[in-house]
Structure 1
Amino acid sequence: MLILLPPSEGKSAARTGGPLQLEELHFPELNHARRDVLDALRTVSGAEDAHAVLGVGASLVEDVQRNLLLDVAPAAPAHDVYSGVLYDALGYAGMTSVQKRRAREQCVVMSGLWGAIAFGDRIPAYRLSMSVDLPGTGRLAGFWRKHLAAPLARHAGTGLVVDCRSSTYAAAWAPPVHQSAAVNVFQLRNGKRTVVSHFAKHTRGELARHLLTRRGSAPATPEALLRATRERWAADLRPATARRPAQLDILLD
């Protein structure tokens, strides 16, 4: 089983530790593309229109300035750097050692800067969304789409891909439809389904934790994923089509 996660907008910057070692990241075939994005991000972040290009407000000036120091800033494991609603709900710090190892093996984080990284890869805090049109590389979802297909397909193998990404990051790689399931979260109000982004992030994080910490075999099919999900939530499954993977719908009261 492979769990695809989005990054968090906010990052917890490491205070100590050695800097990024690009060659230590998973998916080393992405390193040439990673260097291209790093160089382009460094150039943009030092320009007068950096905030406009990166799509961030003036209050995030420190985040943008960090982009100028990514080669020397302290790095930490991705599970410590990424923070926010989804990662709080996933609760890596509270897992057992066996569960943590499982998370490092089975979770992959999509990133506008790194393309894709493993949960334990050491990275510095940065600011860059997959939606950015970065001078020098173009819109990042399209840029990474050209590079991610082969390494992620090899990494997934024939196992189930549980897709907990937002649409922005899902645009960078489409897993094989026959072996993947996208996770959607709806709230039921008067019998009708409504999308709630905050609860969606939280519930996707809780689902990832449930899959990593529950007893028994990891689900190998969308149908098995539905059964595992129903251990905690009301849910249903929309079957895959020729062009779209199965859709796991979690229903919150």
Structure 2
Amino acid sequence: MEHQTIKRIAAFSDGGQGGNPAGVLIAETLPGEAEMQRIAAEVGYSETAFLAPHEDGWRVRYFAPEIEVPFCGHATIAAGAALAEQFGGGRYRLYLNNGDISVEGEIQQSLAAASLQSPPTRSEPVPEALLAEALALFGWHESDLDTRLPPAMAYGGASHLILPVRHRATLKAMQYDQAQGKALMEAHGITTFCLVHAESPTRFHARNPFAIGGVYEDPATGAAAAALGGYLRDRQWPHHGEVEIIQGEDMGARSLLRIQISDQPGGSIRVSGTARTIS
């Protein structure tokens, strides 16, 4: 398979800058699992999405450099941009390993805009032992946490451990041992650590270590944004229906994600952003 058929798109860009790069391969049929894993490792982005026609939409699978993941938000946004570029703007149904979602894509001059409807969302408290391990991983203490938003395990197509901190400076100084982080994530089925700071009720800063996928940190994580949206709904946070998330700023790849939150328990979250083609 020719690698030039792989589109390289930065999803959740801040205008023409930043965003999280994803590979997108649109094919008549999906390559074999080992081949998709090999291609994803060679592309080297945190995820590559593989799409092939299926029923009334597209079968999609997501691969990080080291593992397959059940759902990836930024690669879905990139896929929406790629589908809009190749087949025209509109809504596309995507069939995942577990269920189906939709993505809308539209070309806007040099950028694409895309929105996805996440899988169902839910959240639950973090077991005390796991919380202690996670805090130790980042060298944090319970006093660093935002008491308005207790730590949680949140799900929106994949599992994310949400740790809200009181101060933006704590987030900026984040560091951890990647091998230890990977082991902790594997032991507890965690896809990313969703580390956030609430600047205001409707504006969050986020960092997302993704050690289990072989990536130290993601500059934009749509799946974690969806999980965070479901968590904020469950906490009855005063989100007023929409929240802006700034991610990647501390790694030089500022990204913007917008989530729309309904009050429906367990409902999906709409995650939106722009995308730019990487030349």
TM range (shorter): under 0.3
Normalising by the residue count of structure 2, what TM-score does the alignment of the two structures yield?
A: 0.25
TM-score (norm 1): 0.27
> Counting strand residues as a fraction of each chain, which structure ranks higher?
2
Between Structure 1 and Structure 2, the one with more helix by share is 1
